[in-house]
Amino acid sequence: MTGVVPLRAADARCGTKARTLGRLLRAGLAVPDGVVIPRARGTGWRHDLPPHLGALGAPTFAVRSSSAAEDGARASYAGQLRTVLHVPRAEVEDAVREVASATAADYEAALDLPAGGGVAVLVQPMLAPVAAGVAVTRHPVTGVVTTVVEAVPGLGEPLVSGRADPERWQVDRGGRARVDRARDVLSPPRAEAVARLAESVERLLGGPQDVEWALDAGGTVWTLQARPVTTGPAARPGPGARDAGTARGALLGTGTPAGPGTACGRVRVLRGLDDLPAFLPGEVLVCRATSPAWTPALARAAAVVTEVGGMLSHAAIVARELGLPAVTGLARARDLPDGALVRVDGSAGTVRTVVTS
């Protein structure tokens, strides 16, 4: 068995990300053609890799993890460093090892994967995009059938990691683009081309999709990643949406189930406005109650837990608009251990530790 698989031949061993991209590549979509190392924490791939890199013919590479269960948008924050960009050919081997080891215990625990399981790593030629971003084929808040395109200049990483201030378009199914927030990144025909790509991905894979894309100087729109969006309004659920039934871990508290869905993340207790800069995207925001100033942080949270309020509280209403699992009225929520990895089940109203052994 070879330790390196061409992307267009990627199968279940190669992780969801690579398998989906392989499928899109075979269907004729523009996907940077690369290779997958299904068991990157082993060593069986080291001698096979250099000839493949030579055949790909690129000066630099993007090295990303492709774990089996990382298709949830919020799961990307559970693991720390899982992507290394602009890697020269001579350093790809080290980058693969780095990504493989970073995608380790915490992450598997967060997603209820068996510890020590295979970590697949994807290596693709590095693009030099003029713009990049995400395109979602449903409105993320209202669920309406329309494609929302977010774009930033250059590489899309700041957007995907939640740090950028993107341009935003809505493209209806008639192909008409309307800019919601202009930042001088895309023209209407370019936004429409991105939306057409996302709609092609939806037709190929079935069901609403969240597509990471990049536009090069020649006008080609490349697909970097495609993930399913669960149907229904306000639904960009966290990684735990499908493991909601596996309630392992100690119960830390029970409150009111106020926003449906399950998500994992690290606890960040915010005692006031001055704590907001300490909050990181993908964390579980824990506070007494939310006021209007908290909405931008909520929009980046994995889940929200409040001490006061119920099903009708303002925090609950905002969380549901954001598609965020929410537990309200959890007594002494601010005593939850800061930094602990927890699973918030907004349908059951529980907060549990995530087992990491």
Applying CB under 8 A, does 286 fall inside the site for another protein?
no
Applying CB under 8 A, does 333 fall inside the site for another protein?
no
Question: Whole-angstrom Cα distance, residue 116 to residue 108?
Answer: 8
CB of 164 to another protein, least distance (A): 10
CB of 47 to another protein, least distance (A): 45
Token pair, residue 239, equals 């990684």
Nearer to another protein, 58 or 299 (CB): 299
Applying CB under 8 A, does 291 fall inside the site for another protein?
yes
Which secondary structure element, helix H or strand E, spans residue 344, and what is its range? Answer: strand 341-345
Applying CB under 8 A, does 146 fall inside the site for another protein?
no
Nearer to another protein, 190 or 320 (CB): 320
Applying CB under 8 A, does 154 fall inside the site for another protein?
no
Q: Candidates 16-24, 46-54, 55-63, 289-297: pick the segment binding another protein (CB under 8 A).
A: 289-297
Q: Candidates 49-57, 170-178, 200-208, 284-292: pick the segment binding another protein (CB under 8 A).
A: 284-292
Among 217, 292, 332, 357, the residue binding another protein under the rule CB under 8 A is 292
Contacts of 239 (CB under 8 A, 6+ apart): 69, 70, 72, 74, 75, 78, 110, 111, 263, 264
Among 9, 276, 340, 348, the residue binding another protein under the rule CB under 8 A is 276
Applying CB under 8 A, does 125 fall inside the site for another protein?
no
Question: Whole-angstrom Cα distance, residue 256 to residue 315?
Answer: 12
**CB-based burial label for 43 (10 Å; 0-12, 13-18, 19+):** exposed
Q: Rounded to 5 degrees, what are φ and ψ at 127?
A: -90, 160
Question: Whole-angstrom Cα distance, residue 179 to residue 182?
Answer: 6
Among 26, 39, 242, 314, the residue binding another protein under the rule CB under 8 A is 314
CB of 351 to another protein, least distance (A): 20
Applying CB under 8 A, does 317 fall inside the site for another protein?
yes
Q: Candidates 10-18, 109-117, 188-196, 295-303: pick the segment binding another protein (CB under 8 A).
A: 295-303
Applying CB under 8 A, does 288 fall inside the site for another protein?
yes
Applying CB under 8 A, does 277 fall inside the site for another protein?
yes
Residue 243 · residue 346 · CB < 8 Å:
no
With CB under 8 A as the rule, give the number of residues binding another protein. 40
Spatial CA neighbour of 94 closest among 46, 141, 57:
46
CB of 135 to another protein, least distance (A): 17
Residue 321 · residue 341 · CB < 8 Å:
no
Nearer to another protein, 24 or 297 (CB): 297
Token pair, residue 156, equals 């899309």
Q: If you search the block for the tokens 């990144």, which residue do you land on?
A: 185
Q: Candidates 19-27, 74-82, 135-143, 220-228: pick the segment binding another protein (CB under 8 A).
A: 135-143
Torsion of CA 81, 84, 89, 92, to 10 degrees: 20
Q: Candidates 20-28, 62-70, 91-99, 286-294: pick the segment binding another protein (CB under 8 A).
A: 286-294
Applying CB under 8 A, does 158 fall inside the site for another protein?
no
Q: Rounded to 5 degrees, what are φ and ψ at 91?
A: -110, 5
Contacts of 8 (CB under 8 A, 6+ apart): 22, 25, 26, 33
Question: Whole-angstrom Cα distance, residue 129 to residue 220?
Answer: 9
Q: Output DSSP code: residue 7.
A: G
Question: Whole-angstrom Cα distance, residue 322 to residue 287?
Answer: 17
Applying CB under 8 A, does 316 fall inside the site for another protein?
yes
Token pair, residue 282, equals 């993908």
CB of 300 to another protein, least distance (A): 5
Among 54, 88, 219, 296, the residue binding another protein under the rule CB under 8 A is 296
Binding site for another protein (CB under 8 A): 141-143, 162, 165, 232-235, 260, 272-274, 276-277, 279, 281, 288-297, 299-300, 308, 311-314, 316-318, 320-322
